[in-house]
Structure 1
Amino acid sequence: MIGGGTRRRRLDEIWTHLHNNPEPSMQEYGTSDYLAEMLGEAGLKIEKFKCFPGFTADIGEGSPQIGLRADMDALVQEVAGKTTAVHSCGHDANMAIIATVMLELSELEDRLKGPVRAIFQPAEELGNGADLVAALGVTDGLDYLFGVHLRPQSELPAPFLAPSISHGACLFAHGTITGEDHHGARPHLGANAVEVALEISEGLRRLKVDPQIPSSAKMTLLHAGGGNLNVIPGSGTFGVDLRAQTNEAMSILHTGLISVCRSVTASTGSEIHLDYRDAVPAAIIGARAEAALTTAVTAELGSAQLSSRIVTSGSDDFHFYTQRNPALQAAMLAVGANVQPGLHHPAMSFEAAALDRAVGVLVAACHLVAERPFSSQAR
């Protein structure tokens, strides 16, 4: 066990550097270099990604069986009247936790009974960073993958931790309506792009999903027409936000959106094109991974600090890894840190001691899983 004072000093040093040097999605080169150099100097094997920021850091002999994922990007928001990058989602904390776990494991490598890989990933906030990294195959040989994320106080207060986060799926669609403008006095000569969009919006409201599964489908952007109010716009653009707690429900919403647009096209004659963006899958939680984190929380902190699985309508691209490898045992540790006022708020703050607790749990989970390996055939 690493001394509490040493761990806290290490966490504070790493977090302070990352917090003071935030970088937006796909620009996290300085962040990546800082962490890679620090972990490389500690003896970990570093492999940087070639086409975008990020890297893997391995400890132990043989092919890694356990993975730890940290997201690196900051959000771009207005802070004190200036647009700037800021770690308002706590990714600086996530990175500090995973880096500290790897450093502690390296110092106890002789007691580690299986190899561990840390994955420092870009662009979680874009919703596709994990998809890009998963395509590199860095998790293909893993048995387990653990993530970590601070939670809002209203969802999980300190000092509690939960062994998994059940994120929902989300899908953004940008729509283009193409038609001819015509005179305001002659509406019969063509379709009105505003009315076309409203028909699509109304169609989304009529989509039916099992009421036991949280879901929503709504138009969140609409632009049509120019400065002349006597011109009926034939063309326009719109945006749709789809949310569902399960991937099956998201499939229903996605199919429904296509059906609605086809129906409106048939009735109005307008051409409607959909461009999909940020299609993030819902959580696929591994029962063994969740059980391992449950045991680790109890062993490290006691059962009184263990909470049940967190269910949230928010999304995280972490689940692309299990979408690529369905047999992968994956779960994200939820860390109660009294986050205020909330995630993505530019003035977000949290309880620093929560990072210490998370490190202890993940170190314990790695040792636990390494001591109880299972083969792919036994899954």
Structure 2
Amino acid sequence: MDEFIIKRAKELQGYIVEKRRDFHMYPELKYEEERTSKIVEEELKKLGYEVVRTAKTGVIGILKGKEDGKTVALRADMDALPIQEENDVPYKSRVPGKMHACGHDAHTAMLLGAAKILAEMKDELQGTVKLIFQPAEEGGLGAKKIVEEGHLDDVDAIFGIHVWAELPSGIIGIKSGPLLASADAFRVLIKGKGGHGAAPHLSIDPIALAVDLVNAYQKIISREVDPLQPAVLSVTSIKAGTTFNVIPESAEILGTIRTFDEEVRDYIVRRMKEITENFANGMRCEGKFELTIEHIPPTINNEKLANFARDVLKVLGEIREPKPTMGAEDFAFYTTKAPGLFIFLGIRNEEKGIIYPHHHPKFNVDEDILWMGAAIHSLLTYHYLSL
């Protein structure tokens, strides 16, 4: 079946590119994916899939093979970003201030390509396939909603693909274990006592405490966390004051925490809270530490699925082990319910000027490799259900 799958994926290259460009021209932000999900639903119904709506604007297509067996899920995210596109291409975003700058248009198109191949192979499938077209990966936790609705309860394995700007075009990236970090956002609110900048002794300066806290937080990473455990604590915003001669009443600190280990994450959060409250008390201020987004766990790839995928996908070309990244992905929520594997597909092509990172206004995808995404989904599904 490998030859058939690869042949059909290459034949569907034009279809996949067409769909990707259409989605690219009409990007939709998290939980706004009405147009995209309508197209996806129509395509799946034409192919004979049972269609279920999920997570407000998500779509799941279910295909049952000729024989009963395991259930495998394939995931593509559909949402765009609030970015003004700067590419000069015929399929440039036609929606001001919105852009597919992370490749989700490609993900959706590739999975639609796989949907066609798998529908043609229905009688060869020994089990059930769930195609998950997910909304709101970019900050909306769409994956979590899908899990909470029970759509992963009967799934034996789930696979996802992300086009990857750090890998050369056509290279497949597979890594077992930690691949993407957990993510938390924090806010620290400091209340002091305002006054004249020339009379600091009559005030309680929240900026002085903010500076000390930023330095103290970094010592958690450098002096308390095992140096062999990757961890990032970034302060990304400090807001206080309005002019040169007034000590403000309050200050605010914003930032993010990233780890690959949940125990390390919990330790950092606990220590930041303790340091905030104790430093504030020592500086005669009020200090409050809080988390401002729902925690996203790390994406940990299943070792058995990684080994399985390396063996199955070697027919497509070179496979490399990518570096882990401290970026986060809500695909992680799926792996809390079923063994999962998140795969990178390289799209960097310097000759074509496709060199910009994800979330950049000039981000683009080397479309010549999109057929590979459909082939990866289809090959993994067929061989997994045949185990």
Q: Does the TM-score normalized on the shorter chain lie above 0.5?
A: yes
Per the alignment, residue 337 of structure 1 pairs with 347
Tell me if the contact between 1:90 and 1:149 (Cα under 8 Å) persists in the aligned partners: yes
Contact kept in structure 2, 1:73 and 1:125, CA below 8 Å: yes
- Whether the aligned pair in 2 keeps the contact of 1:287 and 1:329 (CA below 8 Å) is no
1:248-287 alignment, distance < 5 Å: 248-268=263-283, 269-277=285-293, 279-287=295-303
* Alpha carbons 1:25, 1:123 under 8 Å: kept: yes
Greater shift after overlay, 93-102 or 337-346? Answer: 337-346
2:174 is aligned with 1:163: yes
The structure-2 alpha-carbon separation of the partners of 1:322 and 1:190, relative to structure 1 and needing over 3 Å to count, comes to farther
Could you tell me which amino acid in structure 2 is paired with residue 248 of structure 1? Answer: E
**Would the alpha carbon gap of residues 275 and 247 (structure 1) be closer, same or farther in structure 2, given more than 3 Å must change?**
closer
Q: Give the drift of 1:69.
A: 0.9
C-alpha distance in 2, partners of 1:334/1:320? 18
For residues 237-264 of structure 1, the C-alpha deviation after alignment (integer angstroms, 9 at most, x for no partner) is 2102212233333223222221221222
Q: Quick one: distance in 1 between partners of 2:111 and 2:295? A: 26
The CA distance in 2 between the partners of 1:368 and 1:63, in whole Å, is: 12
Structure-2 change in CA distance of 1:8 and 1:171 (3 Å): same
Q: Cα 1:183–1:77, aligned 2, differ >3 Å: closer, same or farther? A: same
Structure 2 SS opposite 1:290 = helix
Q: 1:197 aligns with which of 210, 219, 226?
A: 210
Shift of 1:188: 3.3
Give how far 1:20 is off. 1.2
User: Following the alignment from structure 2 to structure 1, what is the Cα–Cα distance between the partners of residues 383 and 302?
Assistant: 16
Q: 1:28 aligns with which of 29, 33, 46?
A: 33
Q: How far 1:160 moved relative to its partner?
A: 1.5
Code of the residue aligned with 2:371 in structure 1: it is D
CA distance in 1, matches of 2:136, 2:76: 11
Q: Is the 8 A contact 1:19 1:87 kept in 2?
A: yes
Residue by residue over 1:204-253, the C-alpha shift from the partner in whole angstroms, topping out at 9 and shown as x without a partner, is 111021112222212111111223x3332121221022122333332232
Q: What does the per-residue CA deviation read over 1:314-361, in whole Å, with 9 as the maximum and x for residues that have no partner? A: 2111101223x2xx1101111012152221111112222221122212
1:58 aligns with 2:62: yes
1:316 aligns with 2:299: no
- C-alpha change, 1:121 and 1:162, in structure 2 (3 Å) is same
1:363 has 2:378 as partner: yes
Cα drift, residue 308 of structure 1: 2.0
5+ long unaligned stretches in structure 1: 373-379
CA deviation after TM superposition for structure 1 residue 4, in Å: 4.8
Distance 1:63 1:182 in 2: 72
Shift of 1:67: 0.6
SS across alignment from 1:361: helix
Alignment of 1:131-170 (within 5 A): 131-152=144-165, 155-164=166-175, 166-170=179-183
Match of 2:133 in 1: 120
CA contact under 8 A between 2:84 and 2:99: conserved in structure 1?
A: no
Question: Which moves more between the two structures, 215-224 or 84-93?
Answer: 215-224
Query: 2:159, 2:188 → 1: CA distance?
Result: 36
Structure 2 alignment gaps of length 5 or more: 88-94, 349-353
Aligned equivalents of 1:317, 1:127: Cα separation in 2: 9
TM-score (norm 2): 0.87
Whether the aligned pair in 2 keeps the contact of 1:65 and 1:143 (CA below 8 Å) is yes
Asked whether 1:288 is paired with 2:290, we answer: no
- 1:377 matched to which residue of 2? none
Letter of the structure 1 residue corresponding to residue 122 of structure 2: E
Report the counterpart of residue 375 of structure 1 in structure 2.
none
Q: Note the aligned Cα RMSD (angstroms).
A: 2.2
8 Å contact 2:183–2:257 — kept in the other structure?
yes
Letter in 1 for 2:49: L
Q: In the TM superposition, what is the alpha-carbon distance from 1:83 to its structure 2 partner?
A: 5.1
SS class of match (1:274):
strand
- The partner residue of 1:14 within 5, 11, 19 is 19
Structure 1 residue 37 corresponds to structure 2 residue 42: yes
- Check the 8 A contact 2:73/2:159 in 1, yes or no: yes
- Residues 10 and 371, structure 2, Cα contact 8 Å, conserved in 1: no
Q: Conserved in 2, the CA contact under 8 Å of 1:162 and 1:294?
A: no
| Cα 1:101–1:4 shift into 2, 3 Å | closer
Partner of 1:376: none
- Provide the residue aligned with 2:75 in structure 1: 69
Deviations 1:20-77 (A, max 9, x none): 111111211111111111111211111112x621121111166971011111111111
1:219 equivalent in alignment to 2:224: no
Q: Deviations over 1:126-170 (max 9, x none)?
A: 152222222111112111010100111xx3212210224701122
Is 2:256 aligned against 1:238?
no
Distance 1:216 1:27, change over 3 A: same
Cα distance in 2 for partners of 1:102, 1:18 equals 17
In structure 1, C-alpha distance between the alignment counterparts of 2:116 and 2:70, rounded to whole Å:
16
Residues 275 and 220 of structure 1: CA distance in aligned 2, closer, same or farther (over 3 Å) = same
Pairing partner for 2:121 from 73, 92, 108: 108
Where do 4+ consecutive residues of structure 1 move more than 6 Å?
none
Question: Percent of counterpart pairs with the same letter?
Answer: 25
